[in-house]
């Protein structure tokens, strides 16, 4: 069982390690796991024989037949995988408001994210209109699920919505505030930033895995979700060394891009930061419908102006060109911003130098796209 | 040949069984905030997608087999 957000990474891991057993994904932490790793030995009747078993216990259990229980526990009814059936119970005597959460989970397991988000939000609305403490206790659980669903939507090419990554980070931040002891929730946020003083090597193994699998003559499973800088213990290759962090266009001589040819969104992890603390800023640039990136010129550069409210981990970032002559992928850069003690709300300014081509005329342009980044302080 | 009374009894029984086993009794399942398996007790049954094919699998699908349930992360 894994609780990771991105199943494809574990698929690659399983391919690398040649695991052949089933691996199930509970990205919502819906069975209430708060830490990993945890091992449980279960006999052929579904009875727990040991928690944290050692090798001897495992060998013994495999070698012996366990006595059957007098009344076997019934398996999970299939109706709990049917969100429509769960929701059909509304208005009946058996209905409980928390069934909205279970319906949301059932939708999310099918990747029906819009319906899942709808169910979770209905629970939060219903909770507001009651004074039921048991429902209030479930709020962090729902906030975490909303983060999961929003991030799934962000990663989905079919239903990507602008700002979903930032929304996910905000829900996760709130969930963690409601239950700071949930280790898996803490790690979920940490993997997206900011980079720790001693970064955790979440996915540093990926490079070795791809090399080893290829050396075996196999094709490594393709990863579609980009790794963020905080998921690697080593700095991201996009960060240029501080010694070369010179403002590439200090006098703003490059012509401005201001006709909506490029859209911009920012996500902050965590979504709210106290003064003196660090936030990871993810900036995403997308070409509009009729525009493409021109990959036959200089790479895109992103510059962040200095601020007296804090310090950037890097001011100059670069996005390498795709291999094709033109492309339309989202381009993401990241950096950490450490706020000063007693700082007020921060507004960073910066710009990106982009090479784009217009579809109709085929005209290619080199332009400066300016942006602002608001970082609210708590 | 069944009498009218016997037919009525069978019909009533069938209706009773249909009510008990087919109507959506959704009172049993709860949202779990923290689960700790207990030795000697049945493990909570669950259903999640397999990362390889996306198909839902239940823990109870493995009844009849010994299971080493390992909660882990590739990070």
Q: Nearest CA of chain B to the CA of A345: how many Å?
A: 34
Task: Report whether B43 contacts B59 (CB < 8 A).
Answer: yes
CB contact under 8 A, A14 and B51: yes
Q: CB contact, 8 Å: B60 with chain A? A: yes
Is the model's pLDDT at A285 over the cut of 70? Answer: yes
Tens of pLDDT, residue by residue over A58-72, are 888 888 888 888 877
Between CA B33 and CA A32 the distance in angstroms is: 5
CA atoms within 13 A on the CB side of A243: 0
Beta bridge partners of A50: A41
Which DSSP string do the residues of A218-279 spell out, in sequence order?
Answer: PPPPPP-SPPPGGGSSSPPTTBPPGGG---SSTT--SPB--SSSEEEEEEEESSSB-TT-EE
| Alpha-carbon Rg for chain A in angstroms | 24
Q: What is the pLDDT of residue A149?
A: 96
Compute the mean pLDDT over every residue in chain A, rounded to the nearest whole number: 89
Indicate the pLDDT class of residue A360, thresholds 50, 70 and 90.
Answer: low
Among A44, A69, A102, the residue with its CB nearest the CB of B66 is: A44
Average pLDDT over residues A359-369: 82
Is the model's pLDDT at B11 over the cut of 90? Answer: no
User: Which residues have C-beta within 8 Å of that of residue A63, sequence separation ≥ 6?
Assistant: none
Task: Report whether A165 contacts A154 (CB < 8 A).
Answer: yes
Which DSSP string do the residues of B9-48 spell out, in sequence order?
Answer: HHHHHHHHHHHHHTS----S----S-----TTSBPPP-EE
Beta bridge partners of A374: A347
Q: What is the pLDDT of residue A104?
A: 97
Is the model's pLDDT at A340 over the cut of 90? Answer: no
Helix (H/G/I), strand (E/B), else coil: A337: strand
Higher pLDDT: A276 or A18? It is: A18
Between CA A370 and CA A259 the distance in angstroms is: 12
Indicate the pLDDT class of residue B25, thresholds 50, 70 and 90.
Answer: low
Residue of A18, A28, A48 for testing the chain B interface, max B β-carbons within 10 Å:
A48
Do the bridges between strand A291-294 and strand A326-327 make them parallel or antiparallel, or are there none, so unpaired?
A: antiparallel
Q: What is the pLDDT of residue A350?
A: 96
Q: What is the pLDDT of residue A160?
A: 65
Contact list, B39 vs chain A (CB under 8 Å): 48-51
What number is the ipTM of this complex?
A: 0.82
Indicate the pLDDT class of residue A116, thresholds 50, 70 and 90.
Answer: very high
Range of A15-19, A200-204, A239-243, A318-322 with top mean pLDDT: A15-19
Indicate the pLDDT class of residue A235, thresholds 50, 70 and 90.
Answer: low
Indicate the pLDDT class of residue A234, thresholds 50, 70 and 90.
Answer: low
- Mean pLDDT is lowest, of A20-24, A134-138, A223-227, B58-62, for A223-227
Is the model's pLDDT at B56 over the cut of 50? Answer: yes
Helix (H/G/I), strand (E/B), else coil: A290: coil
Is the model's pLDDT at B26 over the cut of 60? Answer: no
Helix %, strand %, coil % for chain A, to 5? Answer: 30, 25, 45
Residue of A3, A16, A17, A23 for testing the chain B interface, max B β-carbons within 10 Å:
A23
Q: CB contact, 8 Å: B66 with chain A? A: yes
Q: CB contact, 8 Å: A14 with chain B? A: yes
Q: Among all residues of chain B, which has the CA nearest to that of A102?
A: B31
Q: pLDDT above 90 covers what percent of chain A?
A: 58
Q: What is the pLDDT of residue A361?
A: 64
Is the model's pLDDT at B17 over the cut of 50? Answer: no
Between CA A280 and CA A267 the distance in angstroms is: 8
Q: Nearest CA of chain B to the CA of A334: how many Å?
A: 21
Between CA A270 and CA A169 the distance in angstroms is: 6
Cα separation values, A262 from A256, A284, A301, A306, A355, Å? 12, 10, 14, 23, 11
- Give A42's DSSP letter: E
Indicate the pLDDT class of residue A30, thresholds 50, 70 and 90.
Answer: very high
Between CA A3 and CA A205 the distance in angstroms is: 18
Among B38, B64, B72, the residue with its CB nearest the CB of A37 is: B72
């Amino acid at each position: 069982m894994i609780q990771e957000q991105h199943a494809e990474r574990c698929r690659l891991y399983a391919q690398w390690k040649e695991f052949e057993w089933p691996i199930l994904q509970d990205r919502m932490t819906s069975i209430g796991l708060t830490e990993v790793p945890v091992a449980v030995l279960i006999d052929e009747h579904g009875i727990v024989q040991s928690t944290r078993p050692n090798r001897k216990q495992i060998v013994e259990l495999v070698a012996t037949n366990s006595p059957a229980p007098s009344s076997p526990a019934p398996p999970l009814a299939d109706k709990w995988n049917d969100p429509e059936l769960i929701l059909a119970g509304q208005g009946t005597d058996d209905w409980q408001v928390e069934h909205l959460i279970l319906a949301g989970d059932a939708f999310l397991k099918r990747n029906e994210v819009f319906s899942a988000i709808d169910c979770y939000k209905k629970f939060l609305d219903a909770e507001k209109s009651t004074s039921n403490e048991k429902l209030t206790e479930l709020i962090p659980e729902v906030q975490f699920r909303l983060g999961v669903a929003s991030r799934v939507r962000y990663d989905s090419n079919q239903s990507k919505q602008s700002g979903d990554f930032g929304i996910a980070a905000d829900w996760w931040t709130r969930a963690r505030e409601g239950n700071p002891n949930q280790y898996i929730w803490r790690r979920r946020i940490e993997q997206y930033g900011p980079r720790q003083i001693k970064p955790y090597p979440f996915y540093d193994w990926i490079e070795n895995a791809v090399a080893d699998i290829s050396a075996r003559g196999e094709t490594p499973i393709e990863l579609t979700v980009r790794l963020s800088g905080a998921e690697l213990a080593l700095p991201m290759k996009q960060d240029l060394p501080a010694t070369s962090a010179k403002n590439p266009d200090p006098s703003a001589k490059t012509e401005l891009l201001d006709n909506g040819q490029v859209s911009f969104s920012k996500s902050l992890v965590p979504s709210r930061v106290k003064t003196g603390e660090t936030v990871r800023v993810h900036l995403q640039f997308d070409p509009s419908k009729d525009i493409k990136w021109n990959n036959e010129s200089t790479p895109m550069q992103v510059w962040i102006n200095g601020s007296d409210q804090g310090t950037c981990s890097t001011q100059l970032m670069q996005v390498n060109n795709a291999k094709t002559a033109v492309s339309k992928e989202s381009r993401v850069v990241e950096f950490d911003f450490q706020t000063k003690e007693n700082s007020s709300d921060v507004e960073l300014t910066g710009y990106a130098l982009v090479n784009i081509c217009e579809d109709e005329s085929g005209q290619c342009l080199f332009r400066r796209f300016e942006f602002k980044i608001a970082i609210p302080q708590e | 040949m069944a009498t009218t009374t016997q037919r009525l009894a069978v019909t009533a029984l069938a209706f009773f069984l249909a009510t008990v086993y087919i109507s959506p009794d959704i009172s049993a399942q709860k949202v779990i905030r923290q689960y700790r398996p207990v030795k000697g007790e049945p493990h909570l049954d669950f259903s999640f997608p397999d990362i390889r094919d996306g198909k839902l699998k239940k823990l109870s699908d493995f009844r009849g087999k010994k299971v080493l349930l390992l909660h882990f992360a590739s990070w």
